[in-house]
């Protein structure tokens, strides 16, 4: 038995005696190949360089469903058995039939997608308001939330500043680590810097605050928008911060100095969401004008406009390879787009309310969406299928996010609750 052992993962091929004898004694080696993509069993992420090799090819997993793709010439065999053993997965084996000439083209499923089943790990209630936005730190150890307060009952006054805070929680224990106070109105969006040392927040007070995560102090206050700051995103290289606002503009800021670099105009209404591509070169924005716009982050020029939603675009996100964009809208749809061409690739139908937030899994194979129909849905990009629906006891999901390792996701709702869901 031949083995290849990347971290947390091993695969082995068990072949019937007849095929083993053929490999050892036949002068004509197999002409085909057993090949595919391998996934790390612990994180679920693809390992592009990890394969099990033999003289007649290689074996692996080809896609997010955990399918083996087998092609080759195995004459004179009529069938053989292929078995996979992978740490963290159920053992899988299948007898593969060849055609009359010994050729094979088949696949079988390891059960990868079945393993990605989420259940509630913890739930924390925000006593003083609603959760508008959530974001994991780059190391996945903490979770930040932006909070706002709907009109309170006169018998239950709100403590000073609690209607406009940023809270940071320990992901493992759900313990609240700190509360950041400084905004003068609702906090509507939060984003961690790539190094996790600073956190940005945008508010109804039209300002952006940059916080020192360790001390909880405001480092700088960015002023430039004339209306609510709806969305924020740091460039993956950490050099810039982009913000979007109901004033129909995007602003690009120097992340180190806080100086405004550019103002981008093109949307005909307020802008709800903005995202950076993984290479920091491109921006995507979604707005009330039902469009998604793609921008050159360096020049500020609009590259293309994506049309297809019939309602306001509430959320946009780039995949980890930057090739596709996901969007959620008031039309209850989740759409997938080709980032390079602007072509609409797929539409996920299943929500019955506004889709307020979307996010990609780190491996790029799944999208999570949160809606005003009380549900969080997980979608498979390749098969266009709904994988799982997570039900909340609150009617409006405001924000969703995947953890950096893809093994947990979080949702925040208007009822003030944050739920952490982990792979079961």
Q: Is the confidence at residue 200, as pLDDT, over 50?
A: yes
SS (H, E, C) 102-140: CEEEEEEECCHHHHCCEEEEEEEECCCCEEEEEEECCCC
Number of alpha carbons in the 13 Å side-chain half-sphere of residue 34? 29
Which of 81, 113, 145 delimits the end of a domain? 113
Q: Are 183 and 306 members of one domain?
A: yes
Domain at 405, CATH number: 2.130.10.10
Using the 8-state DSSP alphabet, how is residue 158 labeled? Answer: P
Residue 64 confidence (pLDDT) above 50: no
d(CA 132, CA 164): 11
- CA dihedral (382, 384, 385, 390) in degrees, to 10, reads 90
Q: pLDDT tens digits for 399-412?
A: 999 999 888 999 99
Answer with the residue of higher pLDDT: 314 or 86: 314
pLDDT of residue 203: 96
> Which pLDDT does position 125 carry in this prediction?
80
Average pLDDT value for residue range 35-52: 38
What does the pLDDT read at residue 33? 31
Q: Which comes out higher in pLDDT, residue 60 or 79? A: 79
Please report the pLDDT score of residue 116 as a whole number.
Answer: 55
Strands 176-181 and 187-192: unpaired
Evaluate if residue 139 carries a pLDDT over 50. Answer: yes
Residue that finishes a domain, picked among 113, 139, 166: 113
Q: Do both 219 and 204 map to the same domain? A: yes
Are 18 and 167 members of one domain? no
Q: Are residues 244 and 163 in the same domain?
A: yes
Domain enclosing residue 101, as ranges: 3-113
Helices vs. strands in the chain: H and E counts, helices first: 2, 39
pTM: 0.74
Task: Residue 274: name the closest of 202, 331, 211, 347 by CA.
Answer: 202
């Amino acid at each position: 038995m031949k083995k290849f052992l990347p971290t947390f993962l091993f695969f082995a091929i068990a072949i019937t005696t007849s095929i083993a004898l053929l490999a050892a004694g036949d002068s004509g080696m197999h002409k085909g190949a057993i090949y595919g993509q391998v996934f790390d069993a612990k994180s679920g992420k693809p390992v592009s360089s990890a394969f099990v090799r033999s003289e007649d090819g290689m074996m692996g997993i080809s896609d997010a469903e955990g399918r083996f793709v087998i092609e080759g010439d195995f004459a004179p065999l009529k069938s053989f058995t292929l078995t996979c053993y992978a740490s963290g997965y159920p053992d899988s084996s299948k007898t593969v039939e060849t055609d009359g000439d010994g050729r094979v083209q088949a696949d079988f499923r390891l059960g990868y997608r079945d393993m990605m089943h989420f259940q509630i790990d913890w739930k924390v209630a925000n006593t003083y308001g609603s959760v508008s936005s959530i974001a994991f730190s780059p190391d996945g150890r903490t979770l930040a939330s932006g909070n706002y307060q709907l009109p309170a009952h006169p018998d239950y006054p709100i403590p000073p500043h609690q209607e406009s805070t940023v809270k940071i929680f320990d992901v493992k224990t759900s313990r609240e680590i700190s509360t950041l106070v400084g905004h003068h109105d609702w906090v509507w969006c939060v984003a961690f810097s790539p190094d996790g040392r600073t956190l940005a927040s945008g508010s109804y007070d039209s300002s952006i605050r940059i916080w020192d995560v360790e001390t909880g102090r405001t480092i700088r206050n960015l002023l430039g928008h004339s209306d609510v700051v709806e969305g924020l995103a740091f460039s993956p290289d950490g050099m810039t911060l982009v913000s979007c606002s109901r004033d129909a503009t995007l602003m690009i800021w120097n992340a180190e100095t806080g100086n405004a670099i550019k103002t981008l105009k093109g949307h005909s209404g307020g802008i709800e969401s903005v995202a950076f591509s993984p290479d920091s070169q491109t921006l995507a924005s979604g707005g009330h004008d039902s469009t998604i716009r793609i921008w050159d982050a360096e020049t500020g020029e609009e590259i293309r406009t994506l049309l297809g939603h019939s309602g306001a675009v509430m959320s946009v996100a780039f995949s980890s390879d930057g090739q596709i964009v996901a969007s959620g809208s008031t039309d209850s749809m989740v759409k997938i787009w080709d980032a390079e061409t602007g072509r609409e690739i797929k539409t996920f139908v299943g929500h019955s309310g506004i889709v307020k937030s979307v996010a990609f899994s780190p491996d790029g194979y799944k999208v999570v969406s949160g809606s005003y129909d009380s549900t969080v849905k997980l979608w498979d990009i390749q098969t266009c299928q709904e994988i799982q629906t997570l039900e909340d006891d609150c009617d409006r999901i405001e924000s969703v996010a995947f953890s950096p390792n893809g093994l947990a996701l979080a949702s925040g709702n208007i009822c003030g609750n944050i739920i952490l869901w982990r792979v079961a």
